[in-house]
Structure 1
């Protein structure tokens, strides 16, 4: 813990320092223009102070993003709870509210993508025809930019009367199934020839070989692919909210921030998405440690 904490803390400190340093040239021109219009000349200290406290900066300072995160979560959530008590509705300005909307689509899409990926991987490993046909198509599907296909999926789903959570979940599943397919195919093929031959000498069936050898051997690969898949699912859910003009979700916060030039709001929504993704990856990592530990594997 000590060996990993200080290097990480050092890297974070360097990033924050560089971030603060970048705010001065990025936001300095606006400060100079305002001072020139007012007929005053800014000293370097005044220039730095102004670039770190603008309401709509090109690059928000770290403390501005932190304050916005605090106000959009703790403060707004407390306001929302009072509103729930008084009016029966939560605050739609809370990042917790918007994060939950995005998380719902993410989890549903991740479940669909994971299930589809595992089924396809099993078929690819056990059927040569699927290996030759499905796997190339799975690879080719990821060459299509998600920004191009997301509006098409939304329009088609809306045309058949399916709106809300399902279209966003489908886009999340589209991004998350591929890492699971690739990881599980690699994992199910991980046992070497001697292990497979040993089970053949015991007259094991395909199902028994799968249950006793291939499936346990694939667990490390499965959890590694799940970590990639859950992060991709969040990206898919946020991207799916952009072409719909959604009024709720982290994608909606990004849209509203871009419409009104609220760069601090945009950055706070981005950090909220990153925190959400990191939390989900950490939960999968915890499940990995518990599962592999009980199976007697290296964690």
Structure 2
């Protein structure tokens, strides 16, 4: 059985909590968060669930993109007849937008093509032209390769394994000499600066308005990218931050109380995600080297909480490699609906 759900209109399914726990889906998959995201999106955001009776056994998140989709336009009441599906995680773009209960050696890619595509053809009709499948791992390449399909390598995902370290210093000592010396200088500078307070708090204790303001500094850097999320709305952030598996690393100016930088962490029993990052530019009163300090704070948090690894996303891959991260290759595949 297949449920194609629109979070704007459909209530949370009774099986959703069980599905999230079974699949290990993080805070951005909370139904409350999906609802607020869908109402603030440029495109309809269908969530497709596969069920064996009452038991959920698969889920796919996607955006329905048509010729009417615009960078700064909300999704209308209708969905448009002709378009394609951009299959991606609802929040963390470093993670696949699908999950299946069966432990497939290809990461569930073949199962997605064999079940999801026919289901969407039936749901969307002849106007469904195809899909863009993001975050395909190397094990999934044979499943997406073929005639009339376009497969390209995208940005690698940085994953830092911390299970071998007993402290932040252990991690630092594993790095190249120049990087290690640079980090030590940064940490000493922040430790000696009483004007900056660093704290890691549950998301519910953070101010979504202040966070939205800081995150928009980072959003301005990516205006040249045609398909990126709209600026962060306080309604979405309010729903996201109150999820129990969200932590926030904050940097405050102790003289004014101003939020200078922040990062959100989506917790997970083994592999948390460092999700959002935003910082006030130094020329506007911010501090240099904040990201490097945050990276060390995230490593310390992961080690102290017994996490095996931390996902640091896609951007600045080469720099993250110098911080000890391994770069996991990712691919995107454009697949016609009839192929």
Q: Same fold (TM over 0.5)?
A: no
**TM-score (normalised: structure 1):** 0.26
**TM-score (normalised: structure 2):** 0.24
Q: Which has the higher strand share?
A: 2
Q: Which has the higher helix share?
A: 1
